[in-house]
Amino acid sequence: MNTEKIGKRRIVALKGDGSFKIEETDIPDLDAGMVLIEVKASLISPGSELKGASKQGRHAAGGWRVLRDLQLNPDPDLNRRGFGYSNTGIVVAVGENVTTVQPGDRVAAVGVRYAQHATYTVVPQNLVVGLPDEVSFERGSYAMLLATAMQAVRRAKPELGEYVAVAGLGLVGLLTARLFQLAGCYVIGWDTVPARLENAKKLGIGATVLVGSEDTTEKTLEFTQGKGLDTCVLALGGNAEKPANALEKCMKVAPDGHPMGVMIVVGGAEFPFTRTLTNIDIRRSSRTGPGYHDKEWERGGNYGDVFVRWDTRENLELCMRWLKEGKVAVETLTTHEVPFDCLEEEMAEISKDPDSILGLVFKMGDES
C-alpha cells in the first residue's frame, strides 16, 4: 500500500530549549510484514527517550529533569524528531504477508524507530499485538516498558519466596518490582524521591527505602529477616556505583564471607566491576525478549515455541493479558494525560516541575 494516499502524519519533536513541537512528515511506506496504525495513545519513557538529549552529554542519565535543564540552559544544536517506542491504536492497513492482525483491530505496538509519538506509525507485525477491549489505549501504551520489566524478571529466574530489592523506582523499576511480586517474591523498593515511594505503594509495593534519609542496609536486611537479598535490580541510568555498592552490602552471604545472588541491570547503569562482586551473577537486561532488533523476525519470523518459549511477542501478549486481568495497575503510575492537539502548551507547563511527572501519555484521540 502507498501511504501517500493518507497524507502527512504529525510527529513530536524535542527542541533544544526543552520544548516539544508538533511537526508534519511523510508516513513510512507499508512494506511486506509491516502494519499501519492510527495511533490513539503513546507513552514517554523518560529514562531512555530523553537520555543524551544534549550533544554536550549533560544529560547522559536521562529523565524528566532533562527538559527543565534544557529550558534553563538551551542547546541550540538539539532537534530530535520522531522518537518514542510504545503506543496503541487501530490498524488501518497491513502489508503483504501480515497474518497476525487486520484492519480495524485494536492493538498495542512497540519498537524504536517504529512505535513513535505520532498520529500514524508503521510497525513490524511481530511488534504488534492485540489490545483487549477491557484495556484502554492509555493503559495499553505501557506495553514496551511492561515487557522490558518482564524480560528483566525472566533474566533473574526467581524462585518463590525470594527477597528482591529494586533500586530506582521510575516506570521500569516500579513495573519490575510488581512483576517480581507476581512471581512470588518479596520486594523492597529504593529511591531518592519521596513521591516515587508513594507511587510504589499505589502499585502494591509496600516496603520501601528513602535513599539518603534512611539506612538502606539496615532497613533492607530487616526486610529480609536477616537472610539478605537473593536478587537485586539496578533500574536506573548513568553512574550507579553508589547504589551498586549499597545493594552488594544487602545480598545474602555465604559461610566463606562472599556475597551471593543475582544482580539485574535493566537500563544504562554503569559501575566498576570490583573483586567483591565475583560471586554475584551480574546480568544485563535491556530488551523486551528474543527477537527484538532482529529485522527478519520482527516482520514475521518464528523461532519456534519449543526452543524460544518467551520471545518479545509472547511477552507482549502476556503483558496485555495481565493488564486485562488487572494484575498490574499501570493506571496508578500515570500522572499526566496530554491531548495531542494541546501538547506544545501543556508540556511547556508540566515540564517546569519535572519531579511531579512519572507516567505521561499523549492522547491522539478518543476510544472510537
The domain 147-284 is classified under which CATH number: 2.102.10.10, 1.10.10.10, 3.40.50.720, 1.10.287.10? 3.40.50.720
Measured CA to CA, the distance from residue 360 to residue 339 in angstroms comes to: 11
Where do the DSSP E strands lie in the chain?
Answer: 8-15, 20-26, 34-43, 79-81, 86-94, 106-110, 120-124, 128-130, 163-167, 186-191, 207-210, 231-234, 238-239, 261-265, 269-270, 280-284, 334-339, 359-363
Whether 64 has a pLDDT exceeding 50, the answer reads yes
pLDDT digits (tens, 9 = 90+) for 200-235: 999 999 999 999 999 999 999 999 999 999 999 999
| Residues whose CB is less than 8 angstroms from the CB of residue 38 and which lie 6 or more positions away in sequence, other chains included | 89, 90, 92, 119, 120, 364, 365
Place 59 in a pLDDT band, splitting at 50, 70 and 90.
very low
pLDDT digits (tens, 9 = 90+) for 272-331: 888 777 789 999 998 899 999 999 999 999 998 878 889 999 999 999 999 999 999 999
Give the alpha-carbon dihedral of 130, 46, 49, 269, to 10 degrees.
Answer: -110
Measured CA to CA, the distance from residue 1 to residue 239 in angstroms comes to: 46
Residue 53 is predicted with a pLDDT of 62
Mean pLDDT, the chain, as a whole number?
A: 91
Pick the residue with more confidence: 190 or 357? 190
Q: What is the CATH number of domain 3-141+290-363?
A: 3.90.180.10
Residue 366 is predicted with a pLDDT of 67
Quick one: average pLDDT of 85-103?
97
Place 3 in a pLDDT band, splitting at 50, 70 and 90.
low
Measured CA to CA, the distance from residue 128 to residue 98 in angstroms comes to: 11
Residue 55 is predicted with a pLDDT of 47
Residue 71 is predicted with a pLDDT of 86
Residue 162 is predicted with a pLDDT of 98
Measured CA to CA, the distance from residue 279 to residue 339 in angstroms comes to: 50
Whether 138 has a pLDDT exceeding 50, the answer reads yes
Annotated domain spans of the chain: 3-141+290-363, 147-284
Whether 61 has a pLDDT exceeding 60, the answer reads no
Instruction: Give the predicted TM-score (pTM) of the model.
Output: 0.93
Pick the residue with more confidence: 102 or 1? 102
pLDDT digits (tens, 9 = 90+) for 243-252: 999 999 999 9
pLDDT digits (tens, 9 = 90+) for 155-182: 999 999 999 999 999 999 999 999 999 9
Could you tell me how far CA 54 lies from the centroid of its own chain? 21
